[in-house]
Structure 1
Amino acid sequence: MASSIEFKDAVFCDDIREEKSGKHVLVGVYPEAVGFDSLPKTVNLSAFVTFRGLVEAKFEVKFRCRINDAPLEVHAQGQMELEHANQENLSQGIVIPCPPVEIKEDSVLYIEGCVSDEDWIELAGLRVFKK
């Protein structure tokens, strides 16, 4: 079965704010890797995920974080309704607040998404290491 949406990009950041105009402000955007002076370290991150609707429909979407190969509980889910699907490759964005995560050793933190009952898709990864 073809997916209802196509995930485009995702970035990790410290905070995401939405302006009255509907634009998002991403604060403290992380590159592909970040080093800390010491581990363990608890990080509070958010992810900004962009996607494109492929069909006009209602569907369920879920997001979760994963450390290395250990998925964490689903921490964001809900129903979405696309009314303007596939219009000139119009992408939309969604803010995903991640739960506080304790990084105990050099690791990779991932954000994953799932549409309805389809397979989980890796959207972004952030390598975390001790300097």
Structure 2
Amino acid sequence: MTLVAPQIRIRRPRLATLLTVAGVSLVPWMVVLAQTLPRTVEVSNWPAAWIGLDAGLAVGLVGTGVLLRRGDPRVSPAAAATGALLLMDAWFDVTTATAGPEFATAVALAVLAELPLAAACAVVAGRRA
């Protein structure tokens, strides 16, 4: 007996509208945040946040590489997610770095590693299986 996954019907116009409205709704929220968030803040669990992000990147990069090597069509969503994580990592590395060597290192890592890897992931994600 073969098990077949049930087909899930997604109404694209409704989903498209929902996603678009959600994105546009974030604009006023960003204005509120820009006006109300403190310039500096002390954060608990800072190491866990960064280690967790890097762990996610490691899993994404390894998973994307393995799926790509196998020619598995699931590589596209894996690459897209990994590319997004790489962009996020570069953004937060650069914007949270203190002036001086820490900032220079963050920019160098972004330019030499994270952004090129994100671009490679985008190419893989855009391919048709």
Q: Give me the TM-score of the superposition, normalised by structure 1.
A: 0.25
Bigger relative contact order (CA 8 A; separation at least 6):
1
Q: Give me the TM-score of the superposition, normalised by structure 2.
A: 0.26
Which has the higher Rg, Structure 1 or Structure 2? 2
Between Structure 1 and Structure 2, the one with more helix by share is: 2
Between Structure 1 and Structure 2, the one with more strand by share is: 1
